[in-house]
Amino acid sequence: MAGKNMRKRKPSAQQNKDSNKKRSSSISHDPFFHNSDSKRRNQFKDEDINSSDDEGEGFDSEGEKEVEAGEEENEEEIIEETPAEKKKRLAEAFLDRMRAREKKEEEEDEGLEDEGARKEREGERDSLIAKILQQEQLEESGRLRRAIASRVQKPETTEGFRFLVKHRQPVTAVALSEDDTRGFSASKDGTIVHWDVNSGKTEKYVWPSDDVLKSHGAKDPQGRATKHSKHVLALAVSSDGRYLASGGLDRHVHLWDIRTRQHIQGFPGHKGPVSCLTFRQGTSELFSGSFDRSIKIWNAEDRTYINTLFGHQSEVLTIDSLRKERVLTVGRDRTMHLWKVPEESQLVFRAPASSLECCCFISNDEFLSGSDDGSIEHWNILRKKPVHIVRNAHASLSQFEQRHNGLSNGHLENHAQDSEKLCSTALSWVSSVAVCGSSDLAASGAGNGSIRLWTIESESKGIRPLFELPLVGFVNSISFAKSGRFLIAGVGQEPRLGRWERNAAARNVVALHPIELS
């Protein structure tokens, strides 16, 4: 009996046939296999492969073929072009426009010419287009400097700043989208405003409740704080126009969806206020600087933390980045750091000033900084000290301008004592600097009642003053349009990071000034 029970009964041929039919039928009805096949067919759509006719022969039911064909049609309807296909389409459209423009110009001037001359002219046109594309790529990467400063026209007396947005408290940060059509501003009262550059139409971002913030990753307030502070100190916009990052006194980096103006993520981790933010150009990589002396790296697309950079001995105040994986920061330890992220190394530049307040990239190898002694420094990656210093860039006393016949050019070789007296107050601190992308045009702001435009020349000549744009108040943030046609400034009655000075005559606004180019 034990031997009989131990024997396994072999299935009959009919049972094998039935089980195979059930297995094939269940597979044929499973939508997973149909979806994967249709997706695979759609991915290779350019090869004109029609696999439905070949694979359909293995099915017995015509209804199954109809269902499969219907699923294929639905899949094809919802498929969108891939990023690579979109990039190729835009590039081809750009080339077509360039060729059409060149061809139109040639048709206006050309006379009778033979076939050989026409082909030669077409070859010259293609080489010209290639040169234009190469130049644009070099400008975007920061390896080529555009000559814009020499084309800037002197502002008319009737022209001035146009106030776009009003805030209740001092504006701490402004930012522009990649296409220069939309702007963003934040203030000490926690308000974040999204506005249209042309029409001035504004829309506010609404802070979610504490429960929603916790669900988005934010942690409970630390220290003596009982609730999340909405005091915003920094803003940054991603190159693709999808994400807006904000940081402030609550020690979090907040991520917003620009399309819906909704809060989507809160990044904890900093142990001090988040003072500065920047996105690396062309990516979703986000860098944040804080009073805890660290720089943290985040990925906005994946909403993840990547790494932390240490090196500053005091609060980090300003941060900037270009397309390359390098970050520029300044702090109250009188140093500027250039972080080479892939190499996990850093270069330290020491300033003669008591404290560096702001910085920005000119190119991958040149930088600009502003100090609390009223100086503007021009740096090069090959030297640890400034290659050129503009002292007393923003004089705080009108008597000085009268005594020296107009604008100070920063070269006070025989007036060192006057320079110290004039820059002893917070009104003359250079609180913000900006460079029009990959160009020789720069701007600086302070609390002395004006924004100054500068021409960045070669190292031997340094920085030359261009024009002065009157604007009452503390200029806490400046941003140029990519085209160089205008600049925006965030102005307030108080400095961005403190209340050690106040100008009651100033307005808490976002101001725009057009720039006429010849």
Tell me the per-residue pLDDT of 176-193, one tens digit each, with 9 for 90 and over: 999 899 999 999 989 999
Q: What is the pLDDT of residue 408?
A: 41
Residue 378 DSSP label: E
Lowest mean pLDDT among 73-77, 277-281, 347-351: 73-77
Q: What 3-state class would DSSP assign to 275?
A: strand
Round to whole Å and give the CA distance between 400 and 393. Answer: 12
Q: What is the pLDDT of residue 96?
A: 78
219 — pLDDT class (breaks 50, 70, 90): confident
Residue 245 has pLDDT above 90, yes or no: yes
- The answer to whether the beta carbons of residues 237 and 175 sit under 8 Å apart is yes
Round to whole Å and give the CA distance between 50 and 60. Answer: 19
Which whole-number Å values give the CA distances from 385 to 82, 370, 491, in the listed order? 47, 14, 31
**Cα within 13 Å of Cα(186), Cβ side:** 29
Listing from the earlier edge strand, what are the strands of the sheet with 441-445?
432-435, 441-445, 450-456, 463-470
Q: Report which of 170, 222, 63, 72 is spatially closest to residue 499, judged by C-alpha positions.
A: 170
Across the range 461-478, mean pLDDT stands at 91
Q: What 3-state class would DSSP assign to 244?
A: strand
Q: What is the pLDDT of residue 311?
A: 94
Main-chain dihedrals φ then ψ at residue 136, nearest 5 degrees: -65, -40
Whole-structure pTM value: 0.71
Q: Evaluate the CA torsion angle 392, 394, 400, 406 in order and state its sign.
A: positive
Residue with tokens 């021409």: 455
Main-chain dihedrals φ then ψ at residue 84, nearest 5 degrees: -65, -40
- The answer to whether the beta carbons of residues 234 and 173 sit under 8 Å apart is yes
Lowest mean pLDDT among 107-121, 185-199, 434-448, 461-475: 107-121
- Which residue type occupies 181? T
CA 41 from centre of chain: 38
* pLDDT: which is higher, 130 or 367: 367
- The answer to whether the beta carbons of residues 216 and 265 sit under 8 Å apart is yes
Q: What is the pLDDT of residue 4?
A: 44
* pLDDT: which is higher, 91 or 172: 172
Round to whole Å and give the CA distance between 101 and 511. Answer: 36
* pLDDT: which is higher, 435 or 83: 435
What is the H or E stretch that residue 367 is in? strand 366-371
Residue 130 has pLDDT above 90, yes or no: no
Q: What 3-state class would DSSP assign to 52?
A: helix
CA 244 from centre of chain: 9
Q: Name the CA radius of gyration of the chain, rounded.
A: 31
Residue 7 has pLDDT above 60, yes or no: no
Across the range 320-344, mean pLDDT stands at 93
Round to whole Å and give the CA distance between 186 and 233. Answer: 7
